[in-house]
């Protein structure tokens, strides 16, 4: 669905608010609340990491669900469905006393994130605005601000109530309210259904198809870079607070560090959206990967004031640029026409990133340190940085070339047939 006029700004606000909540209360908040949950219930870090893995795994495996739901029941009902799933997942987290309830909660949160998150948001926002890079940047900036707020919400809830469960109950209420709001502003209206695109940039009838894009190596390089970002992001957010607290920082200081990373990331998302109008998305993606690698390696220094600022700056810039750059790189290479399906497939394949927290938890239990985990993340990021550096644009598929030749063939014939009419 494409929105135009003043309505598109309200839709952008609704999706941005929902994405703010998703980032605050799922991947980013979970990594900060886990130490409190583990201390109370005596779980191993392998259990905690497995829950993070289920969150990422379910989010990835459900990535085709929003495309299917939007095509069949519409964007508004998709938001309502996702909000109900999210609220149920948050309640499971708040009621958790055994690992199984915790696992069910993370699985539901992953499904809800898939339904209400980036697949729907990026597709609607990018299609409704002519300056799509700026609009997508605003959307991801809201998510970055949610990542800033999430750790602080956890710490504030724990300080005020002494019970981490209230954090999850509040998240359930927010999920219901924001998903209903998003459903209201995206309710199907005949004049907005695929007819409200800005006249200055109509959707092309031809161009890349999803099937043709899936046959290119460039698509999988972009997917690999996106997967590397997700793996590093979820792993860092899952273990950085504990790693920093083991390195001499208090829990409050460690949560503040994660909020600082997220704050820089939010600013980076806004900057990436504006820069995307002037820079090539591939260069933005390379910059974000390089910054992520540097920040991850600096994180090994823990609470050292020599390396901590570098970790905050590198991870903040890297995470902030990553989502905007990969989303826009996908559009830049293959166009907007197949973006909903391609973004869904990319998210599905990136489910492989879910293995990061699980392996990280096992490595931590065996080695007694998170340093090896962060080194592995940096190596993965470096590999895809090099692949992006040597990547070239994909060759146009046969159907695009045939369509171009057909248009070129029609143009002269129309001129020739018009000449006798003018002569007459």
Cβ burial of 419 (10 Å; 0-12, 13-18, 19+) is: exposed
Q: pLDDT grade, residue 313 (50/70/90)?
A: very high
Does pLDDT of 204 surpass 60? Answer: no
pLDDT band at 196 (very low <50, low <70, confident <90, very high): very low
Taking the CB of residue 211, how many other CB atoms lie within 10 A of it? 11
Integer Cα distance of 248 and 385 in angstroms: 32
pLDDT one-digit tens code per residue, 148-169: 788 788 888 888 988 999 999 9
pLDDT in tens, 119-146: 888 888 877 777 777 888 888 888 878 8
Across 258-281, average pLDDT: 80
Between residues 190 and 228, which one has the greater pLDDT? Answer: 228
How confident is the model over 387-410, as a mean pLDDT? 70
- At 63 the three-state DSSP class reads coil
**pLDDT (tens digit per residue) in 342-378:** 888 898 888 788 788 778 888 888 777 788 889 999 9
**Per the CATH hierarchy, to which homologous superfamily does domain 6-189+207-394 belong?**
MFS general substrate transporter like domains (1.20.1250.20)
Least confident segment among 5-9, 38-42, 141-145, 192-196: 192-196
Average per-residue pLDDT for the chain: 82
Q: What is the pLDDT of residue 191?
A: 39
Give CA separation, 412 vs 40, 418, 423, in Å.
77, 10, 17
User: Can you tell me the distance from the alpha carbon of 25 to that of 29, in angstroms, rounded to the nearest whole number?
Assistant: 5
Residue 13 pLDDT: 93
Residues 383-387 have a mean pLDDT of 95
Decide: 330 and 222 in contact? Cβ < 8 Å.
Answer: yes
pLDDT at 202: 43
């Amino acid at each position: 669905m494409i929105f135009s006029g003043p309505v598109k700004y309200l839709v952008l606000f609704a999706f941005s608010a929902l994405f703010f909540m998703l980032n605050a209360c799922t991947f980013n908040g979970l990594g900060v609340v886990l130490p409190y949950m583990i201390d109370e219930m005596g779980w191993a870090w392998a259990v905690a990491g497995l829950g993070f893995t289920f969150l990422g795994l379910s989010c990835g495996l459900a990535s085709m669900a929003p495309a299917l739901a939007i095509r069949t029941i519409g964007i508004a009902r998709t938001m309502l469905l996702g909000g109900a799933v999210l609220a149920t997942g948050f309640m499971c987290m708040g009621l958790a006393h055994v690992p199984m309830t915790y696992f069910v909660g993370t699985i539901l949160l992953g499904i809800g994130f898939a339904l209400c998150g980036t697949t729907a948001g990026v597709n609607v926002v990018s299609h409704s605005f002519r300056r799509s890079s700026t609009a997508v940047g605003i959307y991801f900036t809201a998510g970055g601000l949610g990542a800033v707020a999430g750790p602080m919400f956890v710490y504030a809830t724990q300080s005020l109530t002494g019970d981490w469960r209230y954090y999850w109950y509040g998240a359930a209420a927010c999920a219901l309210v924001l998903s209903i709001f998003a459903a209201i502003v995206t309710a199907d209206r005949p004049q907005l259904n695929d007819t409200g695109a800005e006249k200055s940039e109509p959707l092309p009838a031809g161009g890349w198809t999803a099937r043709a894009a899936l046959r290119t190596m460039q698509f999988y390089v972009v997917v690999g870079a996106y997967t590397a970002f997700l793996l590093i992001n979820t792993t860092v957010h899952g273990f950085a607070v504990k790693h920093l607290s083991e390195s001499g920082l208090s829990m409050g200081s460690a949560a503040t560090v994660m909020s600082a990373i997220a704050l820089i990331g939010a600013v980076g998302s806004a900057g990436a959206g504006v820069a995307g109008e002037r820079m090539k998305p591939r260069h933005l993606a390379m910059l974000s990967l390089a910054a992520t690698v540097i920040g991850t390696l600096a994180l090994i220094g823990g609470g050292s004031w020599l390396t901590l600022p570098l970790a905050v700056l590198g991870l903040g810039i890297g995470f902030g640029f990553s989502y905007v750059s990969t989303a826009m790189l996908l559009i830049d290479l293959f166009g907007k026409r197949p973006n909903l399906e391609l973004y869904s497939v990319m998210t599905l394949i990136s489910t492989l990133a879910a293995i990061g927290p699980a392996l990280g938890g096992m490595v931590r239990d065996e080695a007694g340190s998170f340093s090896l985990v962060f080194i592995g993340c940096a190596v993965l990021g470096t590999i895809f940085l090099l692949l992006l550096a040597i990547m070239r644009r994909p060759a146009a598929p046969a159907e695009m070339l045939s369509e171009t030749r057909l248009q070129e063939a029609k143009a002269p014939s129309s001129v020739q047939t018009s000449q006798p009419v003018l002569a007459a």
